[in-house]
Homo-oligomer: A and B are copies of this chain.
Amino acid sequence: MGQLRIDGNRLWGRLDELAQIGAIPETLGSSRLALTKEDGLARDLVVSWMQQLEMKVSIDAIGNVVGLWHGPDTDRSLLPVMTGSHIDTVRSGGRFDGNLGVLAGLEIIQVIREQNISTKHPIAVSFFTGEEGARFAPDMLGSLVYVGGLDLKTALKTTSVDGKRLGSELEDIGYNGTSPCPGIAPKIFLELHIEQGPVLENEGVDIGAVENVQGISWTELIIEGQSNHAGTTPMEMRKDAGYVAGRISTYIREISNKIGGTQVGTVGKIDLVPNLVNVVASKASMTVDLRNTSEQMLREAEDCLASFCDQIAFQEGVEITNKSLARFEPVEFNQQLVDQVISTAENLGYTTRRITSGAGHDAQMLARVCPSAMIFIPSKEGLSHNPAEYSSPEEITAGANVLLHMIMDAAEVNS
- Residues of A in contact with B (beta carbons under 8 Å apart): 90-92, 132-134, 137, 139, 195-198, 214, 216, 218, 226-235, 237, 240, 242-243, 245-250, 252-253, 256-257, 264-282, 287, 289, 291, 325, 357-360, 382-386
Contacts of A233 in B (CB 8 A): 197-198, 264, 358, 382
Sample of 17 more A-B contacts, CB < 8 Å, known A133-B277, A228-B385, A277-B289: A90-B279, A92-B279, A134-B276, A134-B279, A137-B277, A139-B278, A196-B231, A230-B289, A231-B289, A232-B382, A235-B256, A243-B249, A245-B246, A247-B249, A247-B250, A268-B277, A268-B281
Nearest 8 interchain pairs by C-beta: A246-B249, A197-B232, A232-B358, A230-B266, A231-B358, A277-B287, A246-B246, A231-B359
Inter-chain contacts of A92 with B (CB < 8 A): 227, 273-274, 279, 282
Interchain CB contact under 8 A, A231 and B264: yes
Residues on B with beta carbons closer than 8 Å to the beta carbon of A280? 266, 268, 385
Q: How many copies does the complex hold?
A: 2
Looking at A233, A252, A256, A264, the one whose CB has the most chain B CB atoms below 10 A away is A233
**Whole-angstrom distance between the alpha carbons of A272 and B92 in the complex?**
13
Alpha-carbon gap, A240 to B386, bound state (A): 13
Interchain nearest-CB distance for A312 vs B (Å):
11
Min distance, Cβ A38 to any Cβ of chain B, angstroms: 15
Q: How far is the CA of A278 from the CA of B233 in the complex (A)?
A: 35
Whole-angstrom distance between the Cβ of A132 and the nearest chain B Cβ: 7
Q: Please name all residues of chain B whose beta carbon is closer than 8 Å to the beta carbon of A227 when the two chains form the complex.
A: 92, 385-386
Name the residue on B nearest A249 (C-beta).
B246
C-alpha gap A345/B270 in the complex (Å)? 47
Asked, given contacts A229-B359, A275-B271, whether A246 binds B235 with beta carbons under 8 Å apart, the answer is no
Q: Give the CA-CA distance A383 to B238 in the complex, in Å.
A: 10
B386–A226 contact, CB under 8 A?
yes
Q: Which residues on the B side are within 8 Å of A271 (C-beta)?
A: 275
Are B358's CB and A229's CB within 8 A? yes
Other-chain residue from B91, B133, B248, B277 in contact with A269 (beta carbon distance below 8 A)? B277
Cα A134 to Cα B242 in complex, Å, equals 17
Contact of A268 among B196, B269, B279, B325 (CB under 8 A): B279
* A268 and B278 form a contact (CB under 8 A): yes
A270 to chain B, nearest CB (A): 5
A-B contact pairs, 13 of them (CB 8 A): A134-B276, A134-B277, A195-B232, A197-B233, A214-B231, A229-B359, A231-B358, A232-B357, A235-B256, A235-B257, A250-B250, A266-B278, A277-B287
Q: How far is the CA of A205 from the CA of B133 in the complex (A)?
A: 55
Our pick among B132, B226, B358, B385 for the contact of A383 (Cβ within 8 Å) is B226
Expressed in whole angstroms, the Cα–Cα distance for A227 and B92 within the complex equals: 9
CB closest residue in chain B, given A246: B249
Question: What chain B residues lie within 8 Å of A133 (beta carbons)?
Answer: 277-278
B contact residues around A250 at 8 Å (CB) = 243, 246-247, 250
A360: chain B residues at CB < 8 Å are 231
- A270–B268 contact, CB under 8 A? no
Contact A242 B267, beta carbon cutoff 8 Å: yes
